[in-house]
Amino acid sequence: MKLNDQKLLELGLAVIQVEADAIKALSAQINSNFVNACKLIFSCKGRVIVTGMGKSGHIAGKIAATLASTGTPAFFVHPGEASHGDLGMITQQDVVLALSNSGETEEILTILPLLKRIGVPLIAMTGNPSSTLGTMATTHINVSVSQEACPLGLAPTSSTTAALVMGDALAVSLLEARGFTRDDFALSHPGGSLGRRLLLRVSDIMHSGTDIPSVSEQVFISHALLEMSEKKLGMTAVVDSHDKVIGVFTDGDLRRTLAKNINLHDTSISEVMTQACTVISADILAAEAMQIMESKQINALLVVDNDRKAIGALNMHDLLRAGIV
């Protein structure tokens, strides 16, 4: 069969439309059964054991990961392995969430009597409320779809999408119910750029001690330039006799000074510094410091304590190295 560009576009759009319709139809299933499922999981003293076979198993694994990362301890158990020893992972304190579009998946039905014997609450997510799994469950969430996106009606497409979205609905509803915060989320995502943005604070990356560029308000511009060159942050703090920051002198200030033909060797830095300079505290997130730089259109910031004494400094390159940008 020869590939036809227009036909491929039409097929792709058709799949998206079918799956979008399937998701839209899920709204009717956010009902008392959904509420009961949320309550069972919320009151669970152990973990949520998510299980499913085949494509449903892949979706179950993703749902377990989403639950775990949003404040609900969960993990995936393969139903085929469960009857060969992995059932020992499940305790009376747990809740089982079982996915099966037909509700008749043999590997899941095999372990149902054992789950009932243990006394574990069972949440079923199927496309057939009248199925064995649906009727044996403590509560059932209907994720049936009118049609699969596969033109043959065979490959799980709309049905797996519907199950995935319903899993997200459970996870996010529970996140809100638990009062799960950005800080909580950060603790479970310490790796990668997401974790860095949510966890890394200015104090973790700022230059401190003798690495802070700083000059007295009485020095000449030429002296301030030497300090800037040595510390390599593109700016220097200007402090008074009590070491309090009263201004900043940056590369931009230098360009403006040179444009005015001001003598660098006999002009006090206090005459050309930026007085109303932006400063930050050490305990704010590095991501917030980046937002301040972007909004103020500056490339460096001084970090001060409650007495406005310089305790640190950082620039955009520090944020780049830290992976914030």
Residue 188, domain member (yes or no):
no
Residue 306, domain member (yes or no):
yes
CATH of the domain at 24: 3.40.50.10490
Q: How many helices (H) and strands (E) does the chain have?
A: 14, 11
The pLDDT value recorded for residue 155 is 85
Higher model confidence: residue 182 or residue 295?
A: 295
Whether residues 161 and 234 share a domain: the answer is no
Alpha carbon distance 307, 155 (integer Å): 66
Pairing mode, strands 279-280 and 245-250: unpaired
SS3 111: helix
Range of the domain at 241: 202-321
Query: What angle, rounded to 10 degrees, do the helices at 158-178 and 5-25 form?
Result: 40
Whether residues 141 and 217 share a domain: the answer is no
Higher model confidence: residue 205 or residue 180?
A: 205
Whether residues 224 and 312 share a domain: the answer is yes
322 Cα distance to chain centroid? 17
Q: Is the pLDDT of residue 270 over 60?
A: yes
∠ Cα 131 137 142 (to 5°): 60
Whether residues 112 and 211 share a domain: the answer is no
- Taking only the tens place, the pLDDT of each residue in 121-149 is 999 999 999 999 999 999 999 999 999 98
Q: Looking at 4-8, 142-146, 213-217, 228-232, which range is the least confident one?
A: 4-8
Whether residues 14 and 136 share a domain: the answer is yes
Whether residues 18 and 135 share a domain: the answer is yes
Rounding to the nearest 10 degrees, give the CA dihedral for residues 167, 170, 176, 180.
-60
Residue 241, domain member (yes or no):
yes
Query: Which of 180, 212, 233 is the endpoint of a domain?
Result: 180
CATH of the domain at 261: 3.10.580.10
Task: Please count the residues of the chain.
Answer: 325
Categorize the per-residue pLDDT at 196 as very low, low, confident or very high, splitting at 50, 70 and 90.
Answer: low
Residue 190, domain member (yes or no):
no
Whether residues 316 and 244 share a domain: the answer is yes
Whether residues 168 and 242 share a domain: the answer is no
Number of domains forming the structure of the chain: 2
Residue 67, domain member (yes or no):
yes
Higher model confidence: residue 311 or residue 325?
A: 311
Q: Is the pLDDT of residue 85 over 90?
A: no
Whether residues 226 and 152 share a domain: the answer is no
Query: Which of 145, 180, 215 is the endpoint of a domain?
Result: 180
- Taking only the tens place, the pLDDT of each residue in 150-186 is 888 778 899 999 999 999 999 999 998 888 776 666 6
Residue 126, domain member (yes or no):
yes
Whether residues 209 and 174 share a domain: the answer is no
Categorize the per-residue pLDDT at 69 as very low, low, confident or very high, splitting at 50, 70 and 90.
Answer: confident
Residue 185, domain member (yes or no):
no
Whether residues 134 and 227 share a domain: the answer is no
Note whether 195 and 189 are within 8 A (CB): yes
The pLDDT value recorded for residue 179 is 83
Residue 192, domain member (yes or no):
no
- 133's enclosing H/E stretch is helix 132-136
Q: Looking at 68-72, 121-125, 153-157, 232-236, which range is the least confident one?
A: 153-157
| pTM exceeds 0.75, yes or no | no
The pLDDT value recorded for residue 276 is 87
Query: What angle, rounded to 10 degrees, do the helices at 158-178 and 55-69 form?
Result: 20
Q: Is the pLDDT of residue 200 over 90?
A: no
Whether residues 55 and 94 share a domain: the answer is yes
